[in-house]
Amino acid sequence: MSYLVLTGIQKRFPGGTVAVQDFNLEAARGEFVSFLGPSGCGKTTTLRMIAGFETPTEGRISIDGADITDRPPNQRNVGMVFQSYALFPNMTVADNIGFGLRVRRRPAEQIRKRTAELLALINLPDKGDRYPYQLSGGQQQRVALARALAFEPTVLLLDEPLSALDAKIRVALRHEIRSIQRQLGITTVYVTHDQEEALSLSDRVVVMSEGRMEQVGTPFEIYNFPTTPFVASFVGQLNIVPASIIDSGTGALTVAGQAVRVQRAFTGSSGRKVNIAIRPEMVSLGPGPDGSNRLTGTVSEVSFLGSIVRIRVRVGGDSGPLVSLDEFNEPTLVLPEVGATAQLSFPAQGPLVLDPNVEVGESVEELIAET
């Protein structure tokens, strides 16, 4: 049963800029949905329309069956966590958390009890009498989360809440956010440009670009079965390798004069130039199992990235395309020498053919069924 529903949402700003167009989403109760995309793609604008800070030019928004499109923001019962925390500097942590309850004129004892519960939930039980300036960035964001949850909102909205924090705190805090969200079972919409955040936190991800929804799916679907060139290139690393179609019916192409086969259906005439998109983790050094695609080239670069070693191979001759592959780092790993000949392999199911004139033939459901 859909809990948060956005239907035909469009936002056009004065001057003609269309920030969001044809946005449709149904989120179930308790679901965690992320809006992922580059800056300016419309994800924050969409979130702000749910919060009531922007009015849709077209379309309707409803929560639990009630149309809230025309309600002012202070009557939507939607909690929001801002990128800049937005804690009230003149109030203590406890007063910040209790603000929403005081506005709703709850009894003082109820406010006190609820505040104590939330301070415990965010692991800051002794910080109630501090002021925001006395807290670290991570602590401030936890207080902001507690404040947004205090009055038990119907939906929780988070607008890039971790982008101002350093990497380690970000990782720790996002697990905490997800844990709290699961515990409370609150429908959540999370806006981020960080794909690792979106993929690790979400039940579903909406990838957006230029105001449009590119793809909606689980993190697994988004990453492994991108349905548009934008999603393929935005989410995860991608090798873009120039190729030439031999026979689209059999999926045969050539890369730098070497034959490969792509299982994912595409259309295009023989000899047409296209690009093949392959994830680095799909490519392996060596001949691979039977049925794999194989390319021969020269090792161009070997980069040690900690847990990963990234190897770049120039396929074919000196002017051939570069293909990156990732190997997990381990003490027994034998790294190839730069300049050495290397053979690469990748499965036929892995690549995506990219070309404006070439369509991705199968739906996500069919691709999953095949795998």
Partner 1 sequence: MTGEIDRLHPEAAVLSGPRPKPRAPRGRGRVAVSWIVLIASVAYFLLPLLGTLIFSLRDRPWYQAYSDTLADAQLYRAFGFSLVIAVITVILSVVLLVPTAYWVRLRLPRLRPFVEFVTLLPFVIPPIVLVYGLLTTFNAPPLPLTTSDLGANVLLVCAYVVLSFPYMYRAIDTGLRVIDIRTLTEASQSLGAGWLTIMWRVILPNLRVAILSGAFLTLAIVVGEFTIANFLARPMFAVYLQLISGNLAYEPAAVALFSFAITWASMGVIALIGRGSGRRVEITGAH
Give the per-residue contact string, 249-288, with partner 1 (x = CB under 8 A; - = no): ----------------------------------------
7-15, 135-143, 226-234, 359-367 -> range binding partner 1 (CB under 8 A)? 135-143
Nearest to 334 by CA among 286, 288, 292: 286
Q: 79, 217, 229, 251: which one contacts partner 1 (CB under 8 A)? A: 79
Q: Rounded distance, CA 311 to CA 142, Å?
A: 40
Q: Rounded distance, CA 340 to CA 322, Å?
A: 14
Between residues 75 and 341, which has the closer beta carbon with respect to partner 1?
75
Does position 103 interact with partner 1 (CB under 8 A)? The reply is yes
Which residues 6+ apart lie within 8 Å of 318 measured at CB?
Answer: none
Does position 89 interact with partner 1 (CB under 8 A)? The reply is yes
Does position 108 interact with partner 1 (CB under 8 A)? The reply is no
Strand partners for 121: none
Structure tokens at 300: 């161009």
Q: 8, 17, 55, 104: which one contacts partner 1 (CB under 8 A)? A: 104
Does position 15 interact with partner 1 (CB under 8 A)? The reply is no
Restricting to residues 158-177, name those near partner 1 by CB under 8 A.
Answer: 164
How crowded is residue 226: how many other Cβ atoms within 10 Å of its Cβ? 26
Does position 132 interact with partner 1 (CB under 8 A)? The reply is yes
* CB-neighbour burial class of residue 184 (10 A; exposed 0-12, middle 13-18, buried 19+): middle
Q: 75, 110, 123, 303: which one contacts partner 1 (CB under 8 A)? A: 75
Q: What is the closest distance, in whole angstroms, from the C-beta atom of residue 228 to partner 1 in the complex?
A: 33
Q: What is the closest distance, in whole angstroms, from the C-beta atom of residue 166 to partner 1 in the complex?
A: 11
Residue 166 DSSP SS3: coil
127-135, 190-198, 210-218, 361-369 -> range binding partner 1 (CB under 8 A)? 127-135
Between residues 155 and 315, which has the closer beta carbon with respect to partner 1?
155
Q: Rounded distance, CA 89 to CA 80, Å?
A: 17
Q: What is the closest distance, in whole angstroms, from the C-beta atom of residue 359 to partner 1 in the complex?
A: 42
Does position 74 interact with partner 1 (CB under 8 A)? The reply is yes
Between residues 33 and 80, which has the closer beta carbon with respect to partner 1?
80
55-63, 82-90, 225-233, 297-305 -> range binding partner 1 (CB under 8 A)? 82-90
Which residues 6+ apart lie within 8 Å of 19 measured at CB?
Answer: 11, 12, 13, 42, 45, 211
Q: 65, 72, 291, 356: which one contacts partner 1 (CB under 8 A)? A: 72
Residue with tokens 């050094």: 285
Size of the site for partner 1 (CB under 8 A): 36
Does position 228 interact with partner 1 (CB under 8 A)? The reply is no
* CB-neighbour burial class of residue 108 (10 A; exposed 0-12, middle 13-18, buried 19+): exposed
Does position 335 interact with partner 1 (CB under 8 A)? The reply is no
Q: What is the closest distance, in whole angstroms, from the C-beta atom of residue 30 to partner 1 in the complex?
A: 20
Which ranges constitute the DSSP H helices of 90-247? 93-103, 108-121, 137-149, 167-184, 195-201, 219-224, 229-234
Dihedral through CA 152, CA 205, CA 219, CA 366, nearest 10? 130
Does position 186 interact with partner 1 (CB under 8 A)? The reply is no
Q: 11, 147, 204, 279: which one contacts partner 1 (CB under 8 A)? A: 147
Q: 2, 10, 83, 300: which one contacts partner 1 (CB under 8 A)? A: 83
Helix axes 167-184, 137-149, angle to 10 degrees: 20
Q: Under a CB-based contact definition with an 8 Å cutoff, are residues 154 and 51 in contact?
A: no
Strand partners for 341: 298
Helix axes 108-121, 137-149, angle to 10 degrees: 130
Does position 322 interact with partner 1 (CB under 8 A)? The reply is no
Between residues 163 and 343, which has the closer beta carbon with respect to partner 1?
163
Note the residues at the interface with partner 1 (CB under 8 A).
Answer: 51-53, 72-75, 77-80, 82-90, 99-100, 103-104, 131-133, 137, 140-141, 144, 147-148, 151, 157, 164
